[in-house]
Amino acid sequence: MEDILGKVRRELKDASDEKTRQTGLRFFKEEVNLYGIRSKSVSEIARTNYALIRKAGKDQILLLCDSLWKSGMMEESFVACSWSEKMTSSFDPADFAILEKWVHNYVSNWASCDTLCNHTVGDFIQKYPEYLADLKRWARSENRWVKRASAVSLIIPARKGKFLGDIFEIADILLMDRDDMVQKGYGWMLKAASQAHQEEVFSYVMQHKAVMPRTALRYAIEKMPPLLRAQAMRK
């Protein structure tokens, strides 16, 4: 199976160009390692190579994903996220350990964080909601990406109206965090929750707006009607 990793990496390298890499770097304040590939091409490389390994079994595929994460290359992390998302229907509780390993040890930018957590981790949490307690533990981490992960893992469930109480608990933990990546993460989570629970999220924002960072506040109310947005932004 190591051959498939070499194949993926050759295809990523062949699809890269310096102009795309330089453009991509502008989206990050932190140092990131990029090949420089358009997202559509990365998705196609992930899809065509998954077809070659899909019968290998979950454990083997997750090991391949782990190797891709270890490289530190952003596009390799995207391939890993694509493959792991396809495994979510066969996840069992023991698989949380490898997801947590990726979040704690390998995630080092918002793009890899969100790609992993919006889908693979979020799908896992919907399947095993008892692990919401672990997201609340993540929210107390010293690592900015782990804290962001605690919130963005709930974006898709929040849009479906799920886990509102847990969402508010995570927002409480992150409420006054000074890191803008964390603020944007939990603000996005609240915005997603407002799609099904506008009244409750608006009430939460109004209750906390005196101390909520303006970045988080703006994200949280973005989908609300203009009158509610104006009320929330009024000092």
Domain boundaries, the chain: 1-90, 94-235
CATH number of 1-90: 1.25.10.90
For residue 202, what are its two tokens? 């608006």
Contact 172, 190 (CB under 8 A): no
For 86-174, where are the alpha helices, taking DSSP H only?
A: 96-101, 110-115, 122-127, 132-138, 144-152, 155-159, 164-174
* pTM of structure: 0.94
Whether 235 has a pLDDT exceeding 90, the answer reads: no
| CB atoms near residue 198 (< 10 Å) | 15
Whether 2 has a pLDDT exceeding 80, the answer reads: no
Do domains 1-90 and 94-235 share one topology? The answer is yes
> b/e per residue, 10-48, with b = 16+ CB within 10 A?
ebbeebbeeebeeebeeeeeeebebbbbeeebbeebbee
Confidence tier at 1 by pLDDT (50, 70, 90): low
Mean pLDDT within 174-202: 98
pLDDT tens by residue, 43-92 = 999 999 999 999 999 999 999 999 999 999 999 999 999 999 999 999 99
Q: Is 97 helix (H, G, I), strand (E, B) or coil?
A: helix
Whether 4 has a pLDDT exceeding 80, the answer reads: yes
**CA distances to 18, 132, 152, 197, 212 from 165, in Å:** 46, 11, 15, 11, 18
Contact 205, 189 (CB under 8 A): no
Give 94-235's CATH code, choosing from 3.90.25.10, 3.10.20.440, 3.40.640.10, 1.25.10.90.
Answer: 1.25.10.90
For residue 58, what are its two tokens? 């979950």
- Smallest Cα–Cα separation from 204: which of 226, 224, 177, 182? 224
